Structure 1
């Protein structure tokens, strides 16, 4: 016999809200990173400085892109979690209706 399994739709909705909040924070981080770019010459005049500057630009662009992608992922998590909460509520309601119909059919 399987163990008891319970889902709290309100807990799922709270998690969805925190996912939305995380998405907003990630977008704020992305905007902040994008607003503070160093120039390629910021690393000096030595030959190695050019390579360091290119590496910085590449990594900072990747960080900006990744923060945006993470924000989008958090939004999808929030959307799907909210949908999951609603689906559990619909399933519980359908089960309740079935039980009431069975009970009514048995004269209860």
Structure 2
């Protein structure tokens, strides 16, 4: 897989696995839109203090960092970049869990639900 940084935006340190990139591509195809990117952000909340937000976004905000993973754009806002540097987004599809997972080396601790961290 080839990752390239967009020329007009700074890069971020988030990685998207091939399985996750394939799932994002599939979801975008279902939406029938080619103007959306996967945005990952860190927001205050959850039982451990911070929560992840993953959603499709057509906006380009000032200070966004963007990396393209074989046609799948991943966007991180400037405030979230330090919290997500080195994180890997994957997609799990097992009997126990289905959905996107985030392995973040910057998370000191997380809650039992796995949706928030500090």
**TM-score of the pair, normalised by structure 1:** 0.19
Higher helix share: 1
**TM-score of the pair, normalised by structure 2:** 0.18
Q: Which protein shows a greater Rg?
A: 1
